[in-house]
Amino acid sequence: MTDAPLPRPVLASGFDIPANVVVVDHPLVQHKLTRLREAATSTAGFRRLTRELSLLLAYEATRDLPLEMEQIETPLEPMTAPKLSGKKLCFVSILRAGNGILDGMLDLVPAARVGHIGLYRDPKTLQPVEYYVKLPEDMAERVCIAVDPMLATGHSAAAAIERLKRSGANAIVFVCLLSVPEGLRTLCAAHPDVKIVTASIDRELDGHGYIRPGLGDAGDRLFGTR
């Protein structure tokens, strides 16, 4: 059997992907994302798929975690083996939809610390408004992974990361299910040092700031609201 080339999960044509952006093209990720996009997917199914996708994306988001060696005893002999180095991870959910991704990440790293940043987008200006922040201590000593299903205009993500930097965080990864060129340009311009992990770069934003083709409002679909 001849292996067919894997279709690229990038729906935006003519967009040069920045060096700090990783598009996860694993077949399982792309399959689950397709099921997630479907309008017929139930609230329960949307939650389950989001959780499964976030666990898979977490592998890429944590790829560069530092390791150190320690001496252990296997049932057969002693050996020197790698383990994670330094303080525990910190996952930061950008409320409210970020909580849907948070659950899957914690399945993979249950000992991680968790922070929350509450932002809402002003419907007229599309600018983020902060209403809640709760973060762990010693942020400067932790790798921080900020999560939000959608990177649309990029303003909320940029504001959240700016808030994390003010708290002392200096090793930050941003993870989202969907992005668009507009949002990537905004976030990369504001924070070129931040790695961005996404499952797709969709075509564009519409006049209301929604990702097209997208998957609708992630928060509404996660929580069964309108």
pLDDT at 98: 87
- Write out the two tokens for 162: 């700016």
pLDDT at 144: 95
Topology classification of domain 21-62+86-212? Rossmann fold (3.40.50)
Are the C-beta atoms of 137 and 119 separated by less than 8 Å? no
How far is 166 from 174, CA to CA, in rounded Å? 16
Q: Per the annotation, where are the binding residues for 5-phospho-alpha-D-ribose 1-diphosphate?
A: 96, 121, 148-156, 217
Q: Per the annotation, where are the binding residues?
A: 96, 121, 148-156, 211, 216-218
The one-digit pLDDT tens for each residue of the chain (226 residues) are 556 555 555 566 678 888 999 999 999 999 999 999 999 999 999 999 999 999 999 999 999 888 999 999 999 999 999 998 877 889 999 988 889 899 889 999 998 999 999 987 777 776 778 889 999 988 998 999 999 999 998 988 999 999 999 999 999 999 999 999 999 999 999 999 999 999 999 999 998 888 999 998 888 898 888 7
User: Using omega within 30 degrees of 0 as the cis cutoff, is the peptide bond preceding 213 cis?
Assistant: yes
Record the pTM.
0.89
How far from 195 is each of 60, 110, 127, 160, CA to CA, in Å? 10, 22, 22, 14
How far is 41 from 53, CA to CA, in rounded Å? 15
Catalytic residues: 121, 125, 217, 220
Are the C-beta atoms of 93 and 176 separated by less than 8 Å? no
- Write out the two tokens for 155: 């303003």
Domain ranges of the chain: 21-62+86-212
For residues 34-59, b (16+ Cβ closer than 10 Å) or e, as one string? eebbeeebeeeebbbbbbbbbbbbbe
Q: Per the annotation, where are the binding residues for uracil?
A: 211, 216-218
